[in-house]
Amino acid sequence: MLKPLFDDQNKIYELLSRFSSVYKQTPFALTNSDERISKIGTLYGEWLLLTEEVHKERLKVITAVRNLVELDALVPDHIIKNNGDTSVKIPAEEFDQKCVTARVLLKEGHPKEQEFEKKRTQISLEAFGEPDSYINVGQAEAPKEESKK
């Protein structure tokens, strides 16, 4: 169920790595005497670093959710595995470890993700402009009508 989220995160890391490689070959990444180009290069670099941080923190939250989902399944799985015998106890370590890990990852990851996202949003506006200037939000193209013969 959560595998697609982890797969998406892997795709994002791959894209960020490729973006970084392409960015490093542009005039923006090189020392430049043109102040505007230098400023754009700085913004792109900051955006890239913040994007990487956002996704690291999101991965923590996704991992926490995975642990919580596994905890939800722990009791039913245990009862099924033991043919309904409720006298067989679930090892405390198994339960405690998942709870503690989920709690720590959520407590740590979510606020940092929000902090990095807020900074990244401001840099995005400065570097790329308003989203509607480069994203076709809510403006799906109408399908072309076939010419009638």
65-109: per-residue pLDDT in tens?
888 988 899 889 999 999 999 898 888 887 888 899 999 999 999
User: 114 vs 33, which has greater pLDDT?
Assistant: 114
Distance CA 23, CA 10 (A): 20
Distance CA 114, CA 37 (A): 29
Say what the pLDDT of residue 132 is: 79
What would the mean pLDDT of 41-59 be, rounded to a whole number? 88
Residue spans per domain, the chain: 3-129
Say what the pLDDT of residue 149 is: 47
Please tell me whether residue 59 adopts helix, strand or coil conformation. Answer: helix
For 106-142, how does the pLDDT look when each residue is reduced to its tens digit (9 = 90+)?
A: 999 999 999 999 999 999 998 888 887 777 766 555 5
User: 70 vs 28, which has greater pLDDT?
Assistant: 70
Distance CA 50, CA 45 (A): 9
Please tell me whether residue 94 adopts helix, strand or coil conformation. Answer: helix
Structure tokens given for 147: 């010419």
Packed helices 35-81 and 3-24: angle between N→C axes, nearest 10 degrees: 160
Say what the pLDDT of residue 50 is: 92
For 11-24, how does the pLDDT look when each residue is reduced to its tens digit (9 = 90+)?
A: 888 888 888 888 77
| Alpha-carbon torsion angle 39, 130, 12, 47, nearest 10 | 20
What would the mean pLDDT of 57-70 be, rounded to a whole number? 89
